[in-house]
């Protein structure tokens, strides 16, 4: 009676997640934290880059007047200019127009950016298509603003299936939400896949007589391996907007800084930007945290040592494949999404727990039959967990 009906239901669901964490905490208390292999949470364990610490200390020492004060809802103009210049360089001339400060809204992380974007565009009942598997919060974000998520099947090896997205388009489709590099699979969508998606959306928008917005959630954009680069949605489709965060690649998830970047080739870019600013204000963000804006503006393109994550990935991929797990080798982010050796992924995750290994069932990403491993842990933890994975694999396969 004290919670709204929606929140009462959501809270009951959230209790299951809490239960999982509580069980993990019990295991750690019982066996010691170093004896529990916690691969459940995508919380970067690598410290922020030294340049972050230096810049933070310097800017605090400078004590610029007004540096903690009021600003435009979009963020400090000088900060947005620096981000815009970085985005323009990053595009390398692929767009007709350059980014300016008025294409960038600094936000409270990528989660803030996604909510601001959805608030800006969703009318009641509107649909947001997203490929399966997907981050469970997307459903909440769409529902916050009267919309709902429609899941589309992935292509082979979790590639982007434009056909599958096409099959889900209805008269209520307002946006397509993608995430590349992808949580939980680590897949990167290719420029060709994005171009094909762009063509589909151009055609569908014409038929619907309303632009479908392509939202690209890119907190892992810089966390890529093997010389790969994450292709950009901007050249693929003018009605695109990127939600970015410094949380993952700078290891600053608690500071909540990111941005929404509007494609400068979007015909209504100015109006869309104004909508984002207003949404940022009225949703109660008002503006992104000031000091972190000033610090991170000076660190465009800087990121943590990605090789640390790459080494863990290699260890895990080799070890798990040797055991017999089927998996797509991730090209980015810090997750693995192997197939569960038995159909019931929740049962398999429970078996792993008996080996003090914590993972997340694929059902949590609307994709049963798989499970997610996050390698935001030490290399030692990766190595030492492998015998437990091997024993659980044997047990599960034998029992099946």
Least Cβ distance, residue 68 to its own copies (angstroms): 5
Cβ atoms of 352 and 346 closer than 8 Å: no
Identify the residue among 23, 153, 163, 268 touching its own copies (CB under 8 A).
268
Query: Which of 317, 324, 316 has its CA nearest to residue 340?
Result: 324
Identify the residue among 196, 288, 296, 297 touching its own copies (CB under 8 A).
288
Nearer to its own copies, 338 or 364 (CB): 364
Torsion on CA atoms 183, 189, 194, 197, rounded to nearest 10: -60
Cβ atoms of 224 and 181 closer than 8 Å: yes
5 sits near its own copies (criterion: CB under 8 A): yes
Binding span for its own copies by CB under 8 A among 152-160, 209-217, 344-352, 389-397: 209-217
284 sits near its own copies (criterion: CB under 8 A): yes
Cβ atoms of 175 and 215 closer than 8 Å: yes
Nearer to its own copies, 7 or 397 (CB): 7
Identify the residue among 70, 93, 171, 307 touching its own copies (CB under 8 A).
70
274 sits near its own copies (criterion: CB under 8 A): yes
213 sits near its own copies (criterion: CB under 8 A): yes
What residues numbered 95-114 form the site for its own copies, per CB under 8 A? 108-109, 111-114
The values of phi and psi at residue 107, to 5°, are -135, 165
Residue 328, Cβ neighbours under 10 Å: how many?
A: 19
Pattern 301-330, binding to its own copies, x per CB under 8 A?
A: ------------------------------
39 sits near its own copies (criterion: CB under 8 A): no
Identify the residue among 27, 279, 357, 367 touching its own copies (CB under 8 A).
279
Give whole-number Cα distances, 102 to 112, 175, 261, 295, 389, in Å: 18, 22, 9, 20, 50
What residues numbered 132-191 form the site for its own copies, per CB under 8 A? 137, 140-141, 144-145
Identify the residue among 292, 297, 327, 352 touching its own copies (CB under 8 A).
292
Which pair of tokens denotes residue 122? 């969703």
Cβ atoms of 237 and 201 closer than 8 Å: yes
Spell out the residues 6+ positions from residue 209 whose beta carbon is closer than 8 angstroms to its own.
none
Residue 264, Cβ neighbours under 10 Å: how many?
A: 20
Least Cβ distance, residue 105 to its own copies (angstroms): 13
């Amino acid at each position: 009676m004290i919670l709204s009906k929606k929140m009462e239901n959501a809270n009951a669901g959230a209790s299951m997640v809490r239960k999982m964490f509580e069980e993990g905490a019990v295991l750690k208390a019982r066996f010691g934290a170093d004896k529990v292999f916690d691969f459940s949470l995508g919380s970067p364990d690598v410290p922020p880059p030294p340049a972050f610490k230096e810049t933070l200390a310097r800017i605090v020492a400078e004590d610029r007047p007004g540096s903690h004060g009021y600003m435009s809802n979009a963020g400090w103009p000088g900060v947005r200019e620096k981000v815009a210049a970085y985005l323009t360089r990053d595009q390398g001339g692929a767009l007709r127009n350059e980014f300016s400060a008025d294409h960038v809204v600094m936000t409270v992380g990528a989660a803030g950016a996604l909510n601001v974007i959805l608030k800006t565009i969703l009318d009641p009942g509107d649909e947001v298509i997203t490929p399966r598997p997907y981050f469970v919060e997307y459903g909440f974000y769409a529902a916050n603003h009267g919309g709902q998520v429609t899941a589309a099947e992935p292509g082979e090896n979790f590639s982007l299936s434009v056909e599958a997205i096409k099959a889900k388009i209805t008269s209520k489709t307002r946006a397509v939400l993608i995430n590349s590099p992808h949580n939980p699979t680590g897949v990167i969508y290719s420029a060709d896949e994005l171009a094909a998606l762009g063509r589909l959306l151009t055609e569908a928008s014409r038929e619907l007589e309303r632009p479908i917005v392509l939202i690209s959630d890119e907190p892992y954009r810089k966390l890529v391996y093997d010389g790969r680069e994450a292709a950009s949605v901007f050249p693929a489709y003018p009605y695109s907007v990127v939600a970015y965060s410094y949380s993952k690649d700078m290891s600053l998830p608690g500071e909540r800084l990111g941005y929404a970047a509007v494609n400068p080739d979007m015909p209504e870019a100015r109006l869309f930007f104004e909508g984002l600013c207003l949404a940022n204000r009225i949703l109660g963000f008002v503006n992104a945290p000031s000091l972190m804006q000033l610090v991170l503006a000076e660190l465009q393109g800087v990121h943590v040592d990605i090789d640390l994550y790459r080494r863990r990935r290699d260890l895990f991929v080799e070890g798990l494949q040797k055991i017999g797990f089927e998996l797509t080798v991730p090209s980015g982010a810090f997750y693995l999404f192997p197939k569960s050796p038995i159909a019931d992924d929740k049962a398999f995750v429970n078996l792993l727990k008996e080996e003090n290994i914590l993972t997340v069932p694929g059902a949590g990403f609307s994709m049963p039959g798989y499970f997610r491993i996050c390698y935001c842990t030490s290399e030692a933890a990766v190595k030492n967990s492998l015998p437990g994975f091997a024993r659980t694999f044997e047990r599960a396969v034998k029992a099946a």
